[in-house]
Amino acid sequence: MGEPLVVIALRQEALYVEGVDLVITGIGKVAAAVAVSRAVAERQPSLVLNVGTAGALHDHLNGAHVVGRVIEHDVDHAALGALIGEPISGEVVLDPNEDITLATGDAFVSSEVHRQALAARAHLVDMEGYAIARACQQADVPLRMVKVVSDTASADAASSWQGRMDDLARQIAAAVTAHL
C-alpha cells in the first residue's frame, strides 16, 4: 500500500494544499470517478482523503464536516431497480458514527425548491462525492470525506462560492492537515 491520496475537485480549492499526493478530479461525477479510479489503480493508496466545498442544505451548517454517508440525488434508483428486477443502491456509508449526509449530483444546486427537496434527505450537496465514494468502495480503499461549506445552495450560491474561494482554499488545506 502506498501513501494516502488527497482528492480535490478543483485547483482553486487546492491552492494551499502542499506536501501530499494530490489528484485534481475536475467537476462532476464522471470526471471524479475516472480520476479517482485511475489514481487508485496506479498509486494503490492506503487511504483516500476527499476534501472540497459543498453547499449547505440547512442554514445552521458552516465550516468543515466529516461525511458519514453519501447519496446520489440525481438518479431514480428505485425506478431503475424495478425496471431491471434487482435493487440498485444509491448510497455509500463511509462512517456510521458520523451524522452528516452528503447528496451528490451533476447539477449545481442554486434554487430554493431543489434545496428544500434535498434537505429532507441530506445536510450538504456537492458534485463529486458519491462518485469518489463508489470508486473507493469498488477498489476496496478506505475513504475519509471532509466537506467545507461554501454556500447555502440557493440563488446566491455561485457568487458566494466565488467570493469566498481564497478563504475556502485555506479551510480545505487545514482540513487536509487535520485529517491525514
Domains of the chain: 5-179 (3.40.50.1580)
Using CA atoms, how far apart are residues 44 and 117, in angstroms rounded to an integer?
Answer: 38
Task: For 162-175, give one letter per residue: b (16+ CB within 10 A) or e.
Answer: eebbeebbebbbbb
At 42, the amino acid letter reads E
Supply the pLDDT for residue 4. Answer: 97
Supply the pLDDT for residue 130. Answer: 98
10 Å Cβ neighbour count for 80? 13
Per-residue confidence in pLDDT tens, the chain, 180 aa: 789 999 999 999 999 999 999 999 999 999 999 999 999 999 999 999 999 999 999 999 999 999 999 999 877 767 777 788 998 888 999 999 999 999 999 988 777 888 899 999 999 999 999 999 999 999 999 999 999 999 887 777 667 777 889 999 999 999 999 999
Using CA atoms, how far apart are residues 14 and 9, in angstroms rounded to an integer?
Answer: 8
Supply the pLDDT for residue 157. Answer: 65
